[in-house]
Amino acid sequence: MLFSTGYQTSLGTISTLVTKGEYVISDKENHACIVNGCVLAKGGFAEFVRFKHNDMDDLDKVLSGLPTKAAKLIVSDGVFSVTGELVNLPKMNEVAKKYGARILIDDAHGIGVVGNGGRGTVSNFDLESEVDLVMGTFSKTFASLGGFVAGKERVINYLKHLSPAIIFSASPTPASCAATLKALDILEEHPELVNNLIKNADKMRKGFAELGFKIIPNKTAIVPVIVGDVDKAFVFWRKLFDNGIFVNTFIPPGVPPNMSMMRTSYMATHEDSHLNKILEVFSKVGKELGLIS
């Protein structure tokens, strides 16, 4: 089922599925759209609890304290938007089955990036038959606008008839849908693009590390470079921009204290000349600011 935006997908799905006397359990570093979907469910008298980031032992502990017969929905990013980490889905699935909980994965940063032919996080772990729902956006890999949720027909029909976010909102535009369908065609016809993407990101992870930058290791398209100090992060961002490199700056409260970072992310169409230029500029600016020697 399609929604007007990825953000609205989260609000409309979570708040409709989890109601009074039921529990939604969220990773502490989930994207804001998930958090707000959980808060909206709480406004409808559902219970909203969280577990430590990607810590399945803590998830087990949280679930063990909830009423046995209560309905429980675990919600997590597939690829975490700040760090680029993959959720520990195999262990999450094991814990969920132990307590009779369902799983909803937000794969905004996973579709077109990981998994068989870019089919996402659930495919990456070969758990398509185990995970209950997957949602995502068209504004990342597909370079369009809109969002989707996929699952069993009965669940989708339930959402279709009861989610205010779908009933009382405009549909995605024909142009947005057409752009998304074309992007899907390209992804299906050229699965090598996914391999090229990860190859480019791996090159940058290796390059940043060799220059002496602190990075967060992962296996996705997001490569965060840790700066630490907030003021230095803003200066770093501006100097990169002035040298022709655009990145996203993340500062507290979006990241923990002293973890301000440049979140770099890559495309399959980046060429070696582009990537080498990025490393060259990062090296120059990093030395100017004393981040590397």
Query: Per residue in 219-228, pLDDT tens?
Result: 999 999 999 9
- SS3 label, residue 127: coil
The pLDDT of residue 96 is: 98
| Residues 215 and 226 sit within 8 Å (Cβ to Cβ) | yes
In angstroms, the CA 175 to CA 258 distance is 42
Pairing verdict, β 102-106 and 47-51: unpaired
The pLDDT of residue 70 is: 97
The pLDDT of residue 204 is: 98
Detail the DSSP E strand segments found in the chain: 2-3, 23-27, 47-51, 72-77, 102-106, 133-137, 147-151, 214-215, 222-228, 248-250, 260-265
- Left, alpha or beta for 15 (phi > 0: left; psi -120 to 50: alpha)? alpha
Read off the tokens for 192.
Answer: 């090598």
**Where does the pLDDT of residue 91 fall: very low under 50, low under 70, confident under 90, or very high at 90 and above?**
very high
pLDDT of 95-140, one tens digit each?
Answer: 999 999 999 999 999 999 999 999 999 999 999 999 999 999 999 9
Q: Hey, where are the domains in the chain?
A: 2-187, 192-288
Q: Which residues pair with 62 in a beta bridge?
A: none
Span 285-292, average pLDDT: 96
pTM of the model: 0.95
The pLDDT of residue 254 is: 87
Provide the annotated active-site residues: 81, 109, 140
Span 192-288 CATH architecture: Alpha-Beta Complex (3.90)
pLDDT of 189-221, one tens digit each?
Answer: 999 999 999 999 999 999 999 999 999 999 999
pLDDT exceeds 90 at position 57 = yes
Asked if the 2-187 domain carries CATH number 3.20.20.140, the reply is no
Closest CA to 15 of 142, 168, 127: 168
Span 268-274, average pLDDT: 97
| Residues 47 and 71 sit within 8 Å (Cβ to Cβ) | no
